[in-house]
Each structure stands twice: as C-alpha cells, then as structure tokens.
Structure 1
Amino acid sequence: MAATDRITSLSDVPDSSTFCFRVRNGNDDEREAILVRDGTDDVACWLNYCQHFTHINLDKGSGAPMRDGEIVCANHGAYFDADSGQCTFGPCEGAYLTAIDVAVDDGVVYLTDEAYEFVGPGPIETDDADRTSTSNVEF
C-alpha cells in the first residue's frame, strides 16, 4: 500500500472512542472521517456525521463517545453499531453511517477507498474554537 494512503498506526486507534482524520473526495471537498476498533486487529471507517442532522459531527475533535460497541451521537442520543454503521436507537433508527474503505496491514491503517484521498489526521480546522453544537437537539 502507498505511504500516502497511510492514516495511522492501529495502536493509535482507541479501544473505547474514535480516531478522526480528513479525506478529500473527487469534487475536492474535504470531509472528516472516523476510525473505530472492529475487534482487536481491525477497524471500521465512517464519515464523521450523524444521520439525523448531517451537519452534526459524531467526533467533535476529541473522540466520539461510545457505549457497548456503539458510537453515540452526543447531540441526539442516537447509537450507531461500530461494526455495521447502523443506527440502532434514536431519531435516525435504521439509517446507516457512510462507510469508507480502509485496511490494516502490519499494524498500520491505510485508506483503500478510491473515492477519497487522505489529507491528514485530526478534524478540519475552523475559525470556530467550539466544535460542540447546541442546535438541533430536538428529536
């Protein structure tokens, strides 16, 4: 796999939270994505937004909250299965997070999705120092 597709070491992906990074699609739009542990030696990858209101990030820059193998949207209380991306509880129940293809090779996570290119680790930098949102808290 190409070094330019290297996202991070598997050991940098937390067991009980997410790892945020940036990708760019073919339209040159920069997006955030998250890695989540899928067992001991694998990860799943999703675009970093809730399916209820897609302008709400799941990982606001310090890791998304997780509970019993599910990613939790702190704004709406939605739960997403970390392995399948399916919303199992909340206002968007039955919806799925948007997957991005990644692979683990020799303890390193690589971007393998041809629709995206790796930009860098961490969230998209904004002028807004507070990435939390108190809007759209209604269900």
Structure 2
Amino acid sequence: MSGYRLTTVETVREEGSWAFTAREGDADREVFLVPCADEPDGGTAEDGSDAGQPVRAWINRCTHEDQRLYREGVGAVTRDGSVVCPKHGSAFDTCEGSCDNGEAAGTTLRAIDIEVRDGAVFLTDDDLAYLSEGLPDDDGDDDAGPSSSSHLTF
C-alpha cells in the first residue's frame, strides 16, 4: 500500500469538497474530492467493488466545456448527491461521475484513483504526482465566476 496522503474523509465531509493540484506528464491537473457514501472508512462491498468508498476524486472540469466544477472560496456545488456545473447546471453523480441531464448528458467525469485507509485519503493514481493543496493561481478564466446560461441559482 502506497500513495500520497491528501487529507481526511472527515475534512472532505466537513468542507463539502476539497481540492488539490497534481502533475500528469508535463501538465498540471486540478482534482477535487467530494463525499460519496456514508460509511466512515470506506471498504469493499460484498461483490468486491469499492461501493463503500466514502469520497471520490474527479478532474476539475465539466465534460461539456472547459469549466471548473470546484472553485476556490466556493468549493464544488453539490445538490441531491450530484456536483452541479455552475455554467449550465449539468449534474454529475458524486459517486459515479455520470451525468444524465443538461449540456453534459451522457458523459462521465474523469475519475482519479484514491484510497481510504483509517479515515485518511491517499492519492494512488499512478499517472499523477501530488503538487499542492488547492488550485493553482487562477489564469483569469473563472475570476468572476461563470457567465451562466442555467436556470439554476445558487
């Protein structure tokens, strides 16, 4: 068992989401964690799947447009077990990453491999190397928030 210790399940639950930056090849990737299951320490379901995983990690981009789902100072907006895109309102299941509504319907967020051990969350994705907690300095694309065409309000 290896991996970089990111945070705790408790922190993700208390904050509602948690983000970090990692390196993949020559590019930096933004990743966010969101609560999924209610189990305190995750574990493995009877069928061998990780259905009991208490948090999930996703690349911080909507599949419809290059839009952040997690923003500094706001976090990831979640509602009824979904992460909601602030631009078009597409809702991605927090546990599966799939979307069945809005502009991103039929797509799935890119998952990042993590593991929960004794309440701590570890980055175990072989393609990513941890760089820092939080998002990199903003390049200006999301400073004022997205210009929304969604009927949803937050």
TM-score grouping bracket, smaller chain normalisation? 0.7 to 0.9
Instruction: With the length of structure 1 as denominator, give the TM-score of the two structures.
Output: 0.87
> Residues 47 and 68 (structure 1 numbering): CA distance in 2 closer, same or farther, change over 3 Å?
same
> What residue is the counterpart of 1:56 in the other structure?
67
CA-atom RMSD, angstroms? Answer: 2.0
2:30 and 2:4 map into 1 onto residues whose CA distance is 15
Determine helix, strand or coil for the equivalent of 1:35: strand
> Alpha-carbon deviations, 1:79-114, whole Å to 9, x = none?
000111001211110100000000111111000010
In the comparison of the two structures, how many residue pairs are matched? 134
Q: Secondary structure at the match of 2:63?
A: coil
1:57-136 map, 5 Å: 57-61=68-72, 62-126=74-138, 128=140, 130=143, 132-134=145-147
Gaps of 5+ in 2: 41-53
Normalised to the residue count of structure 2, the TM-score between the two structures is 0.79
**Percent identical:** 35
**Aligned partners of 2:124 and 2:15: how far apart in 1?**
24
Q: Distance in 1 between matches of 2:100 and 2:139?
A: 34
1:5-35 Cα offsets, whole Å, 9 max, x none, are: 111111110367321111111x221110010
Does 1:7 find its partner at 2:6?
A: yes
Q: How far off is 1:134 after superposition?
A: 1.9
> Per-residue deviation at 1:131?
5.6
- Alpha-carbon distance in 2 for matches of 1:24, 1:123: 12
Gap regions ≥5 residues in structure 1: none
TM superposition outliers: structure 1 runs of 4+ over 3 Å: none
Name the SS of the counterpart of 2:70 in structure 1.
Answer: coil
The amino acid across from 1:59 in the alignment is Y
Rg larger in structure: 2
Confirm or deny: 8 A CA contact 1:51 1:95 kept in the other structure: yes
Say if 1:15 and 1:37, in contact at 8 Å, map to a contact too: no
Residue equivalent to 1:34 = 32
